[in-house]
Chain A
Amino acid sequence: MATDFYLALELDKVDLSGKVISVVERQGGNANFVISALMSHFIDNKTAICLLSLHNTFGHYRNVGMKFGKNLQKLKEEGSFKCIEMLKTIERSVSDRTTEIDFLFPGNQKDMPLKNLFLTIKREAELLLQTQKSVCILVDDLSDLFCLGYSSSQVLSFYQYCRSLIFDLKSCSLVVLCHSTDEDIESMLTVTGICHTSYLSVEVCGLNTGISGDVSGVINIGKRDEANSRIRNTYHFKLEEKRIRVFPPGASPALF
């Protein structure tokens, strides 16, 4: 399914507890498949998932999970998957204003919804850890907070709280998806800040030369070595119906 991708990330070689994986979506790229593949990896490794969904509803992940052979609805009922759906929370804040995470009408304290959102994640992660061995907090997509009017410093503060949570709870890891464009300084700053503190960064972008039927895009995988230097490996990938093919540039299976 995504064996090539897992090998490229070298996820089998390291314990991800207390570590951050950043997934960056550059212009022309779509990193949804990275989130789906990581989700599948964590489920296979008996790690519970606390998903903060700012971009899609639970139904989207359930449908994608089916393609990977994972029944997220069942996992949710069993208590090893939790989805915090911000789209529904925002809808509630408009219709009946019964939510404590009120992004649209925050009142005087603009940080309050972010604080409540973090406290919700903390509560859910702690609940999951009572029954599960390890938990992964997955944020999809952090950059959507910009659309709600937050600045890069507020978004980075929220991210720092999520980081401090995984150090506090032990057996907890964090996956953050964010997107950026070269023109948007706020998003660039946020992405740089996140990449500085992440153990592994996966950058997905389109091909410089345009669109190809044989190659869906480019993945840059960045890791730090012992001397704190960042090692970057570049791969091409091809998305298929139920499979992700990852190969070195110029080695597309379509050529052979």
Chain B
Amino acid sequence: MLHTLEQGGANLLKAIIQSYVDKKIEVHVACFELPVSSFKDVIRTSPDSVVHYHDFFTDHLGWLEKKSDKEVKDSLESIEENKSDNFVLVIDSIASLIINFGSGSVYKRLHRFLMPESKVQHVVTLLHKDMIEDFEFDDISHLASTVLRVEPPTERSHGRPLCFVTHKTNKGKVLREVYYFNSHGQFVANLDYNYALYIEIKKNKVEHYSVDACNKLWSEPFKESAPSKPVKPVDVMADVTTFRLTLEDKEKEARSQLVLPYLRNEAASENSGGGVIHYVPDEGDDWDEEDPDNDLNI
């Protein structure tokens, strides 16, 4: 899952963890950037759900003599040696790992998790796109079967952040969808969104998903907004005065047909016997057909 400074993806990551927890899948959360409490406080668990938290945040270099640097590396290995057959590994920030251990080492480690003999069913990671080099990003995204890229809200997304989903199927087909998502208040993740996303992607299809009743977390496919219809202007002076200050279409037409007496009118000039004054505008004259007071907000 890719995110940037402008749009964070931590809420969505917590939602994905919750979706696995609700499905009674064993989850191991490796906390490198956020404290364990930031996940523990929001993930809802039941007696039969299994979530293990691994704290690499508090003392990742062993300065507090709780763990040494080597122990941290060993702990990552030890996650894989779990007794459970299938479990999901969540890494809260892979950028921290890359900065501390180097991209090559992280790539090898992730690749090992994805080998057929590995007990890891899925690896879900958050990646700060603006903290790594492009080639490091290419390496990691090459390993991923599904990439979720979160982007800040745009004018047409109704103020909600966007999630661009790119999924590579086993047959090599690439699916692309755009969603927007939201969360209200404390993140009590209703993971229907992620269920839908997960299940539909397994079927090689991403379909429309509607909003849940609680509106805790919801999503729907991103659609371009229809162009807005021109709104009939409201006469703001209607309630202020009893005079009518605007003209109807008929009246406007009648006004346009009115021939002003000082303009040259061939038919009238032939019939009349007396002298008349004609006004003929020259090239430099500022002749304006419109009402000169039209722009005033009377």
Contacts and interface: CB of A to CB of B under 8 A. Distances in A.
A228 B63 contact: no
Contacts of B63: 115, 118-119, 161
Which residue, B33, B63, B131, has most C-beta atoms of chain A within 10 A?
A: B63
B184 A226 contact: yes
Tell me what chain B mostly uses at the interface: helix, strand, loop, or mixed.
loop
Contacts of B58: 164, 167-168
B263 to A, nearest CB: 48
Contact of A192 (B5, B7, B33): B5
Contacts of A119: 63
A67 interface: no
B286 interface: no
Interface stretch (A35-43, A91-99, A136-144, A152-160): A152-160
A29 to B, nearest CB: 18
Interface in B6-35: 6-11, 33-35
A160 B99 CA distance: 12
Interface string B155-170: 0000011000000000
A193 interface: yes
A197 interface: yes
A189 B131 contact: yes
A196 B128 contact: yes
A42 B57 CA distance: 27
B160 A192 contact: no
Nearest to B98: A153
A224 B9 CA distance: 12
Contacts of B9: 228
Interface string A189-212: 100110111000000000000000
Contact of A160 (B7, B60, B130, B182): B60
The A interface, classified by DSSP as helix, strand, loop or mixed, is helix
Contacts of A195: 5
B221 interface: no
A153 B99 contact: yes
Contacts of A189: 99, 131
Given A227-B182, A230-B5, A192 B130 contact: yes
Nearest to A201: B5
Interface residues of A, number: 25
Interface in A207-252: 224, 226-230
A164 B11 contact: no
The interface centre, meaning the residue of B5, B130, B183 with most chain A CB atoms within 10 A of its CB, is B5
Contacts of A111: 61
A153 B161 contact: no
Contacts of A168: 58
A237 B222 CA distance: 40
Given A157-B61, A227-B11, A227-B161, A192 B128 contact: yes
B6 A229 contact: yes
A195 B97 CA distance: 18
Best-surrounded residue of A115, A160, A164, A226 (most CB of chain B within 10 A): A160
B8 A224 contact: yes
B84 to A, nearest CB: 29
Nearest to A118: B63
B257 to A, nearest CB: 48
A193 B129 CA distance: 11
B215 interface: no
Given A115-B63, A152-B99, A196-B131, A229 B185 contact: no
Interface centre among B7, B61, B100 (most CB of A within 10 A): B61
Contacts of B184: 226
A155 B2 CA distance: 24
Contacts of B33: 160, 196-197
A132 B230 CA distance: 62
Nearest to A189: B131
A111 to B, nearest CB: 7
Nearest to B95: A193
A228 to B, nearest CB: 4
B59 interface: yes
24 contacts: A115-B61, A157-B100, A160-B33, A161-B59, A164-B35, A164-B57, A167-B37, A167-B58, A189-B99, A192-B5, A192-B130, A193-B99, A193-B128, A196-B128, A224-B8, A226-B183, A227-B153, A227-B161, A227-B181, A228-B9, A228-B161, A228-B183, A229-B8, A230-B5
Q: Which 10 A-B pairs have the closest CB atoms?
A: A228-B8, A115-B63, A153-B99, A164-B58, A167-B35, A230-B6, A228-B11, A229-B152, A192-B130, A227-B182
